Amino acid sequence: MAATAKQQSELGIDSGLAAFAALDQLFAFRIGCSYLAVPVESVLHVDAIQPAVPLARAPAWIAGLVPVPSGAVPLMELERFVPLGHVLAVESRPRAEVDELPGRVIVVQESSMRVGLRCDRVVGVVAVPPKGAEGATRGQRLSEFVEAEYEQPYGLLLRLNLEKLLMAARAR
């Protein structure tokens, strides 16, 4: 039998659900040593990496077109667009074990822009507070695309401003 609203309130169920509802759902992934995340609603699907068909005169960060269930999308190699290599590597901190899937293509859409982001590992959906500390990238170029940062058991997670990132990639 379902608990009444009063019983739920007495058990703290209302506050727990309200607290969870107040969290943002992000889709987290890793490229190199950097853990990044985008809003879950921007992710259309995740696929295994397929060979990319090169595009003539494409910028260095576009590996080519890759087939995905919804058609073909440009494959963006984020590490070629922004310097990810040593931005967030924290070798002295022990890493927690994370249930990660091997390299994938995360198909994202923001406004009318749809691309595949190549990643080394998929972490999955994480719930985080709506606001996080800012300025974690120590002045690196990536900071212009970071909205917030969150400490996670596996390291620092950066929330990307996907629209700003894709607009900048489109303009260059």
Q: How many domains does the chain have?
A: 1
How would you classify residue 44: left for phi > 0, otherwise alpha for psi between -120 and 50, otherwise beta?
A: alpha
pLDDT in tens, 31-55: 988 899 999 999 999 999 888 999 9
In a domain, residue 7? The reply is: no
Alpha-carbon gap, residue 132 to 128, rounded angstroms: 8
pLDDT in tens, 57-83: 999 899 999 998 888 999 999 888 887
Closest Cα partner for 36 from 150, 112, 132?
Answer: 150
Specify the pTM. 0.76
Q: Which distant-in-sequence residues (6+ apart) come within 8 Å of 149 by Cβ?
A: 132, 133, 134, 136, 156, 157, 158, 159
Q: Is residue 151 part of a domain?
A: yes
DSSP result, 19-84 = HHHTSEEEEEEEETTEEEEEEGGGEEEEEE----B--TT--TTEEEEEEETTEEEEEE-HHHHS--
Q: Is residue 115 within 8 Å of residue 168, measured between CB atoms?
A: no
Residue 60 lies inside a defined structural domain of this protein: yes
Q: Is 5 a domain residue?
A: no
On whether residue 159 sits in a domain, the answer given is yes
Rounded to an integer, what distance in angstroms lies between the CA atom of residue 154 and that of residue 139?
22
96-129 pLDDT, tens digit per residue, is: 444 555 679 999 999 899 999 999 999 999 998 8
What's the pLDDT score for residue 37?
94
pLDDT, one tens digit per residue, over 119-171 is 999 999 999 887 654 434 343 556 788 888 888 888 888 899 999 999 998 87
Instruction: Residue 129: give the domain boundaries.
Output: 14-171
In a domain, 4, yes or no: no
1 assigned to some structural domain: no
Indicate which CATH number applies to the domain containing 57: 2.40.50.180
Residue 3 lies in a domain: no
